[in-house]
Amino acid sequence: ANVFVSPLTWGGGYQELSKDKKFSWGGSYGYANLGIYFNIVKQTPDYFKIPQFHNGDANFRIKTKRGGMIKYYTTFAKGDLGLRRTDIDSAALKDAFSLKNYNWYNNLSWRENLGNGWKMNLGAGFSINKDDIQQQIQNAYNIPVTTNASYIDGKNFTLNHRQDFAVVRAVFEKRLGINSIRFGSEYWYSKDRSIYNTYITNLIDNYNAVFGESDIYITNAIAAKVGGRFEYSSILKKANIAPRLSLAYKTGKDAQVSAAYGVFYQKPENTEMIYTTKLGYTKAIHYIINYQKTTNNRIFRTELFYKKYEDLIKTYPITSNSGDGYAKGFEFFWRDKKTFKNFDYWVSYSYLDTKRDYQNYPEKLTPNFAAYHTASVVTKRFVTKIKTGFNLTYSYATGRPYYNFQLSNGKYNIADQGRTKDYHSLGFSVNWVPSVGKQNAKAFWVFFASVNNVLGSNQVYNYNYSYNGLIKQAVNPPAKRFYFIGIFLSFGVDRSDDAINNNL
């Protein structure tokens, strides 16, 4: 069992294991309300509905006679919030946005050893997601108003959206000595219904796939994975075949280098298919080389990649699969818990060069979510004498591009563009674990506190533009810093590390 309490959130969970260790069940519930926090730490938006969230989950596990496992998991979440900001096209008006969300997810799986080298994995799941969104233009007294300007009145809308999703999957595996083959099938059903003001859309898709792959040991040091996937979507009325191949070479006791090639297809987003379903899959071709070495309490991993995008969705002048793009770069990760006593640190870095001609882009451009360089450093130092851990996290990213597209002469042109300032954030957290060193402890306490962006860096995520493009407004976080304090208590099983890592 566990309990957590803070000024923002509270909740708890319970997990029970039978005496013969063949059955377990459990559940948890959490509630968050940011009202107290917002009264202490002032936010830039005017929250007329304080964000509050409920979430919970339940599960059970049954061990079968053959050593297999039947598992069920369900979780729900419910949220509600509303905020106002000054309208970018008129300083005398406000944009009032509210959102109510409900989500329920279920998953049932059965893993079984069938004997004679065969294994079976069966699974089924379904989920429901509902969003009720409203945006209003309001005056200084927070009263809804209309104007004679279509570019302002067009911001008033209501959107009621519901998505139902179900999936059934079966996978079988056969061991052939040190090699193996896997094959299976899956079926997805999705129903997407939206009511935008009075405009109603319904999108229903029946998606089927069959797939197979094999693990082949060419030598003791070289292994290959060869596979493929066939897919069909009823809403697109199109099928495709996606081959996959990877090779791994063990360069030493604790290290290996691998290479992978694969073709991946993805359906267009539902927000794109509401205009037309006469679209095809978008396509990505991946080429990846990876090296990893894992020794005693040390991990090093690096990766080079190139991805080619085809048939991306263009939304102007018509919605079609006429876009393309690419992404290339490399990443590395290093973690070391050995060099210094009671000290753990890891460093990650990535370089990304990507351009896409999609959506309403007038040409091939770097998307506004992509930064050339991103890096992070995390350090954890535990002082046994005082049973306290001190953690520092630093994150960095080069500025992301932003654009203002204006329609003129029948096409979109770039009226303004640039890059946001580089992103910096230094986070600090401290945790006190009084149960450390206690023999036969039955309760495990963790007291923790954290703050992000300690140095108060001015963070700019993007820029918004007025209707005519003359006003440019930075998109900033609602507050410069975020603070958190809390208490976590677990019984029976020590989950202190989970609480600490979740608070980094």
Q: Closest by alpha carbon to 69, among 17, 23, 125?
A: 23
pLDDT of residue 496: 62
Task: Per residue of the chain (504 residues), give pLDDT as tens.
Answer: 889 899 899 999 999 999 999 999 999 999 999 999 999 999 999 999 999 999 999 999 999 998 999 999 999 999 999 999 999 999 999 999 999 999 999 999 999 999 999 999 999 999 999 999 999 999 999 999 999 999 999 999 999 999 999 999 999 999 999 999 999 999 999 999 999 999 999 999 999 999 999 999 999 999 999 999 999 999 999 999 999 999 999 999 899 999 999 999 999 999 999 989 999 999 999 999 999 999 989 999 999 999 999 999 999 999 999 999 999 999 999 999 999 989 999 999 999 999 999 999 999 999 999 999 999 999 999 999 999 999 999 999 999 999 999 998 889 999 999 999 999 999 999 999 988 767 777 788 899 999 999 999 999 999 999 999 999 999 999 999 999 999 998 886 666 666 666 655
**Nearest Cα to Cα of residue 74 among 60, 62, 61, 58:** 58
DSSP string, 428-463: EEEEE-TTTT-TT-SEEEEEEEEEE-TT------EE
Same domain, 401 and 494: yes
- Residue 1 placed within a domain: no
Nearest Cα residue to 240 out of 280, 269, 275, 277: 280
Query: Hey, which bits of 177-281 come out as E strands?
Result: 179-196, 199-217, 222-233, 238-252, 255-266
Task: Name 406's bridge partners.
Answer: 413
Which residue in 365, 345, 362 sits closest to 354, CA to CA? 365
Residue type, 10: W
- Pair 342, 478 in one domain: no
Q: How many CB atoms lie within 10 A of CB 391?
A: 22
Q: What is the pLDDT of residue 452?
A: 96
Residue finishing a domain among 217, 246, 280: 217
> 162: Cβ–Cβ under 8 A, 6 or more apart, which residues?
128, 129, 130, 131, 192, 193, 194
Residues 92 and 185 in one domain: yes
Q: Do 425 and 303 share a structural domain?
A: no
Do 326 and 382 reside in the same domain of the chain?
Answer: no
**Residues 308, 385 share a domain:** no
Give the separation between CA 263 and CA 331, rounded to whole angstroms: 21
Q: Does residue 258 sit within a domain? A: yes
CATH number at residue 170: 2.40.170.20
Is 229 inside any structural domain? no
**Total number of domains in the chain:** 3
Question: Are the C-beta atoms of residues 435 and 444 closer than 8 Å to each other?
Answer: yes
Residue range of the domain that includes 460 = 368-504
Which amino acid does the sequence have at 32?
A: A
Q: Are residues 442 and 409 in the same domain?
A: yes
Amino acid at 48: F
- Phi and psi of 272, rounded to 5°? -90, -35
Q: Is residue 342 part of a domain?
A: yes
**Boundary-marking domain end, from 184, 217, 250:** 217
Whether 95 and 209 share a structural domain: yes
Residue 374 domain-assigned (yes or no)? yes
The tokens describing 415, both together, are: 């009226």
Domain boundary pick from 164, 184, 217: 217
| Domain shared by 171 and 34, yes or no | yes
For residue 243, what are the CA distances in angstroms to 169, 223, 226, 260?
A: 20, 17, 8, 11
> Encoding tokens for residue 463?
């820029």
Q: Is 141 contained in some domain?
A: yes
Q: In this structure, what token pair is assigned to residue 425?
A: 């954030």
Beta carbons of 435 and 461 less than 8 angstroms apart: no
462 and 409 in a single domain? The answer is yes
Q: Can you count the helices (H) and strands (E) in the chain?
A: 4, 26
Residue 224 counted as domain residue: no
Rounded CA-CA distance 477/462 in Å is 11
Q: Is residue 7 part of a domain?
A: no
Is residue 82 located within the same domain as residue 31?
A: yes
- Looking at the fold, whether 355 and 374 belong to one and the same domain comes out as no
Q: Specify the pLDDT at position 448.
A: 92
How is residue 461 written in tokens?
Answer: 């995520």
